[in-house]
Structure 1
Amino acid sequence: MTTTDIELPYSRSSNELRQRMTRTNRGPSVASRPFAGRIGGNQEFTLSPEDLSFPGIVSKVPDAAPTFTWQQSFSLQAFSDVELWKEATIEGVGTCLQIYLAGLYAIGLGSVTTATASGPVTPAAFGSIANFLLITLFIYAGGPVSGGHFNPLITMSTFFARLSILPRTILYIAFQCAGAVIAGFLVRAGLGAPPEDFHAVPGCYIDTSLVTPGQAYALETMSSLALVFIAFGVGLDPRQRKVFGPALSPILVGLALGLCSFATGIARPGYAGSSLNPARCLGLMAAAERFDYHYIHWVGDITAAVINGILYWAIPIYKD
């Protein structure tokens, strides 16, 4: 029997998720909840106030709507939403897998930093390419379920830009950090390596005898702000929806992260690149049993998230 593709709306929401149907078989609905802070979605997958299910869903998770108030964001009711805990679990598992792979090539590349005539340029270039591919693929994999953050920097930035509610932010960061620490010790167990082998991991290592806290803070803050600025512009701003859409955005976000990690990895002796993901450094530095300057990975990223939030407050996405 010849089948014909029929496009039907998932709901009367602004995104109108579409499914492939046949004349004889109406397939099951796709299980993907609306979420304003979905990386790569350009807020295409949010719920319209015209949707009949809008009041019930938004009362539990306000960030299913394109806009919501700070009062709604700080409501603790979302902690009782089982689906939100499931999404946070995906963030934890995805972060664990991502940092496990990133930890393996970071350890391998860190050991050859001085093995080539080009110094850190060659390992930084390979690391940037690997980061680009890794982040892009994981955003594609996790985006339909959790939004594809896998990074406290992204989660904090969506919170301050009022695209993620506080309960989601807390759960995501908690699960991301737990997954990162598990990944760090799995890498250490898999390699059978002592903690000392993790001391010079690129993106987390800072030589305290060469780099001051102020220099490290400036490097971390500005590179993180550059990453978040690009990620929001191509992956979250609905004004870019018709330009990039949900398909191309993850590639551009991954490319931005690769560029930021390469630029900071070769610029300063004693500085092996910006973290751009504090959970990554938390996991690998826990395995190293050494936390030199680790607080900067958090303070710098929080600063960048706040600045980005102020920008989107000053130049809001939607008209009043």
Structure 2
Amino acid sequence: MVSTSRLPSMFQSSRADILLFSLPCKSPMLPHAKFWKSESDRKVLPAPTTIVPFAGRIGANQEFSLDKTNCAQVEILQKFPDAAPWIPLRDALSLQHFLQPELWKAATIEAVGPTFATGALVPSLLGGVTAILVLPLLIFATGPVSGAHLNPTITIATFFARLATLPRCILYVAFQTLGGTIAGLLLRASFDTRSFTVPGCYMDSTKVSSGNAFAIEFTTDFALIFTAFGVGLDPRQRSVFGPALGPIFVGITLATCTFVTGFSRVGYTGFSGNPARCFGAMVGSHFASYHWVHWVAPLCASIVHGIVYYLVPPYSRGRTPPASDGSS
């Protein structure tokens, strides 16, 4: 057997990953995913078991992820490796998953969030209230199809946390950015001018340097990712929050970050929180020289969070006991 000890990446496969196809069949790993508890409801309403499993779903990942050690799930895991957490490096980076139509459908839905999330809002208070009300609704609406990331920051973080494949990450970020671009152009058409600002995406560069902005963005993005994983993506919370409360708590997290950073510096309109939103705002108005901060800070925060997530994993990655050599 080939040793995995030399893999340098945080994506290093565990022995359980390698032994996937050699393990005996188990009983079904989880009950069928369900939103309804009533037997009569399940007879009338359509069953959600046709939803494509995806371990990186916000709020519902616990209900729609698979057990990679269950040989009955081999076929779906070959098609969608991120149906189970802790994706092996080879599967996470495989480009053949670009050929899955279901992945493109999910990515298309991801364009919806930034389209509605970009707007010329009053900063801090109103932005926070809007996040509390709108974000959970968008998550509930798009979650069954795409997992409701709606934000490149969350998507990139799930990739580094081994909850999403590279093809899914690329497609989601591309369509999220497309949605933000459409929103920016709609704002320009609505205001009939390019002279507008979107709080969280603009700052007074004479008062706040790019370095200062990066420090604030990185810190807040890491807080957003860490908290969002804790209440909406971490499987340890499946019996505490589950698919119903997770999206609401993610909305509260974003609202808190938006409100607090709106007062952090004079000339700073608050943290971005969503690079696609700021990209769209600048497409509709004017690109600023510090726009790189809106992308690099979430990327760095996602990498750091991925390292933390790898060192303190939410799953117990059980090892297969060594075969007995017959000695006492």
The 1:269/1:78 distance shift into structure 2, 3 A limit, reads same
Query: Relative to structure 2, which stretch is displaced further, 85-94 or 162-171?
Result: 85-94
Counterpart of 1:184? 184
Residue 208 of structure 2: which of 201, 206, 211 is its match?
211
The 1:13/1:29 distance shift into structure 2, 3 A limit, reads farther
Q: Distance between the aligned counterparts of 2:235 and 2:210, measured in 1?
A: 37
Does the 8 Å contact 2:62/2:242 carry over to 1?
A: no
Query: Deviation at 1:15?
Result: 4.9
Counterpart of 2:149? 149
The 1:56/1:29 distance shift into structure 2, 3 A limit, reads same
Residue 228 of structure 1: which of 225, 228, 244 is its match?
225
Query: Deviation at 1:291?
Result: 2.3
Residue 259 of structure 1: which of 240, 243, 256 is its match?
256
Does the 8 Å contact 1:32/1:145 carry over to 2?
A: yes
Does the 8 Å contact 1:90/1:142 carry over to 2?
A: yes
Instruction: Provide the identity percentage.
Output: 48
Counterpart of 1:83? 102
Does the 8 Å contact 1:42/1:240 carry over to 2?
A: no
Query: Deviation at 1:33?
Result: 1.2
Counterpart of 2:47? 29
Counterpart of 2:13? none
Query: Deviation at 1:24?
Result: 12
Query: Deviation at 1:29?
Result: 3.5
The 1:132/1:318 distance shift into structure 2, 3 A limit, reads same
Residue 286 of structure 2: which of 284, 289, 299 is its match?
289
Counterpart of 2:308? 311
Does the 8 Å contact 1:46/1:64 carry over to 2?
A: yes
Counterpart of 2:194? 195
Q: Give the partner amino acid of 1:242.
A: S
Counterpart of 2:326? none
Q: Give the partner amino acid of 2:226.
A: F
Query: Deviation at 1:95?
Result: 2.6
Query: Deviation at 1:134?
Result: 1.5
RMSD over equivalenced CA pairs, Å: 2.1
Query: What's the secondary structure of 2:111's corresponding residue?
Result: helix
Q: Give the partner amino acid of 1:87.
A: A
Q: Distance between the aligned counterparts of 2:186 and 2:72, measured in 1?
A: 43
Does the 8 Å contact 1:222/1:304 carry over to 2?
A: yes
Query: Deviation at 1:43?
Result: 2.8
Q: Give the partner amino acid of 1:195.
A: R
Q: Distance between the aligned counterparts of 2:284 and 2:150, measured in 1?
A: 19
Does the 8 Å contact 1:67/1:162 carry over to 2?
A: yes
Counterpart of 1:113? none
Q: Distance between the aligned counterparts of 1:257 and 1:24, measured in 2?
A: 34
Residue 39 of structure 1: which of 28, 49, 58 is its match?
58
- Is the aligned partner of 1:14 residue 2:30? yes
Give me the TM-score of the superposition, normalised by structure 1: 0.85
Query: Deviation at 1:299?
Result: 0.6
Q: Distance between the aligned counterparts of 2:31 and 2:222, measured in 1?
A: 29
Q: Distance between the aligned counterparts of 1:23 and 1:272, measured in 2?
A: 47
Give me the TM-score of the superposition, normalised by structure 2: 0.83
The 1:85/1:13 distance shift into structure 2, 3 A limit, reads farther
Q: Distance between the aligned counterparts of 1:263 and 1:148, measured in 2?
A: 24
Counting only pairs closer than 5 Å after superposition, residues 64-79 of structure 1 correspond to structure 2 as 64-79=83-98
- Is the aligned partner of 1:273 residue 2:270? yes
Query: What's the secondary structure of 1:281's corresponding residue?
Result: helix
Does the 8 Å contact 2:68/2:77 carry over to 1?
A: no
Does the 8 Å contact 1:60/1:77 carry over to 2?
A: no
Q: Give the partner amino acid of 1:189.
A: A
Q: Distance between the aligned counterparts of 2:29 and 2:96, measured in 1?
A: 23
Query: Deviation at 1:139?
Result: 1.0
Query: Deviation at 1:295?
Result: 0.2
Query: Deviation at 1:13?
Result: 4.4
Query: Deviation at 1:68?
Result: 1.8
Query: Deviation at 1:53?
Result: 5.4
- Is the aligned partner of 1:94 residue 2:104? no
Does the 8 Å contact 1:265/1:274 carry over to 2?
A: yes
Q: Distance between the aligned counterparts of 1:270 and 1:149, measured in 2?
A: 29
Query: Relative to structure 2, which stretch is displaced further, 266-275 or 16-25?
Result: 16-25
Counterpart of 1:114? none
The 1:257/1:23 distance shift into structure 2, 3 A limit, reads closer
Q: Distance between the aligned counterparts of 1:57 and 1:196, measured in 2?
A: 49
Query: Deviation at 1:48?
Result: 2.8
Q: Give the partner amino acid of 1:197.
A: F
Q: Distance between the aligned counterparts of 1:267 and 1:84, measured in 2?
A: 39
